[in-house]
Amino acid sequence: MQTEVLRSCSDEVLLEMIRLEGNHLAFTTLYDRYWNKLLAIAYNLLRDKSSAKEIVQEVFISLWNRRTNIEVRNAGSYLATAVKFSVFKQIERERRYRHIELADVGDLQLAAVDDRIEDLFIKEYLAGLLEALPEKCALVINYSRIRDWSNAQIAEELNIAEKTVEGHLTKGLKLIRANLKASGMLSLLTASATWHLFR
C-alpha cells in the first residue's frame, strides 16, 4: 500500500496492519502522525529536548516490539499515556537514585527500585480513577481491593446489604477496566503486581 493511501487510513486500520502484518509503512505513518504531539508532551514535562526525544523513541520501539500481543483501541491516548508513564518513571528514578550510592548497588537492587517506581505510578493512577467513581462505589472498591476487606465487612461498615456491595464492586471494576482500556493503560498495567487487585 502506498504511503499516500496509508496517510488517509484511520489509526485503527494502521494498528491492525502493524499487529497482523508487521507493516513497517503503517508503523512509520503512525510514527509521523504522533511524533510531534508526543514530543511536545514529553518536553513540557521534562524541559529537556534530548530526554524528551529519547522517551518518545522508546515508546514507539516498545509499541513495535509488542505489536503482536498489544491491544490498543485509541492510538493517540495510548501513546500519550505511555509517554507520561515513561516520563514519570524517569523523574522518579532520578530522584530516588540521588539518594542511593550507585557504586554499591547491584543490578538486582536497581531493578527493585524500578519496580517500586512503576508500582507507585500505577497506584497513583488507579487512585485517580477511584476518585472519579461515584462515592459509594469508590468506597467499596477501596475497602475491597486496597484494604482487602470481605464483602461482609464492607456491608457492615457502610450499613448496606452484601448484594449492594457486590453491585458496587462489579460496577466500579467495570468502569475502571473500561477507563484503562480506553486510555491504553490496560496494556501497560497487565504485567504489574498491583493490577491483579483490579481484575
In 3D, which of 39, 51, 65 has the Cα closest to residue 93? Answer: 51
Is residue 109 a part of any domain in this protein? Answer: no
Residues 6+ apart with CB under 8 A from 177: 186, 198
Q: Find all residues with CB under 8 Å of 78, minimum gap 6, and list them.
A: 72, 183, 184, 187
pLDDT digits (tens, 9 = 90+) for 127-173: 777 877 888 898 898 888 888 899 999 999 999 999 999 999 999 88
Q: Tell me which residue range forms the domain holding 19.
A: 1-79
What does the pLDDT look like over 83-103, one tens digit per residue?
A: 888 888 787 777 766 665 554
Contact at 8 Å (CB) between 142 and 168?
A: no
Cell triple for residue 112?
527493585
Domain of 20: which CATH number? 1.10.1740
**Is residue 141 assigned to a domain?**
yes
* Residue type (1 letter), 84: K
